[in-house]
Amino acid sequence: MITSLELLDAAECARLEGAIKELRARWVMRGTSPTSGFFTLGAASYLDGADDYAARAGELNPVLRDTFAGLYARVAEFLSARLRAPVGFADGLALPGFHIWLAPAIFVTPVASVHFDLQYLRAWPEATPGLDLRRPLSFTLPIRLPRRGGGLNVWDVTYERYRRFVARVPGAIQPVDVTVLLERMRHPYTPGAIALHSGHLLHQIGEIDEVAPDDERITLQGHALLQRGEWKLYW
Ligand SMILES: O=C(O)CCC(=O)C(=O)O
Instruction: Report the pLDDT averaged over residues 114-126.
Output: 96
The pLDDT value recorded for residue 34 is 85
Ligand 1 environment, Cβ below 6 A? 99, 117, 140, 152, 203, 205, 219, 221
pLDDT in tens, 175-205: 999 999 999 999 999 999 999 999 999 999 9
Q: Is the pLDDT of residue 127 over 90?
A: no
Higher pLDDT, 126 or 165: 165
Query: Distance (Å, rounded) from C-alpha 95 to C-alpha 88?
Result: 10
Instruction: Report the pLDDT averaged over residues 21-28.
Output: 98
| Candidate from 205, 217, 218 with most ligand 1 atoms within 8 A of CB, to mutate | 205
Apex CA 208: angle with CA 205 and CA 212, to 5°? Answer: 120
Q: What is the pTM of this model?
A: 0.97
Which residues are within 8 A (CB) of 51 and not within 5 positions of it... i.e. 6 or more apart? none
The residue nearest atom 5 of ligand 1, judged by CA position, is 205
Full set of structural domains in the chain with CATH: 2-234 (2.60.120)
Mean confidence (pLDDT) of the chain: 97
β strands within 164-211, DSSP E: 185-188, 193-197, 201-205
Q: Is the dihedral of CA 33, 39, 41, 45 positive or negative?
A: negative
The closest of 59, 73, 56, 58 to 12, measured between CA atoms, is 73
The pLDDT value recorded for residue 37 is 97
Quick one: which atom of ligand 1 is closest to the CA of 199? 10
| Candidate from 138, 139, 185, 187 with most ligand 1 atoms within 8 A of CB, to mutate | 138
pLDDT in tens, 149-182: 999 999 999 999 999 999 999 999 999 999 999 9
Instruction: Report the pLDDT averaged over residues 10-32.
Output: 97
Quick one: which atom of ligand 1 is closest to the CA of 219? 1
Among left, alpha and beta (phi > 0; psi -120 to 50; other), residue 36 is: alpha
pLDDT in tens, 49-107: 999 999 999 999 999 999 999 999 999 999 999 999 999 999 999 999 999 999 999 99
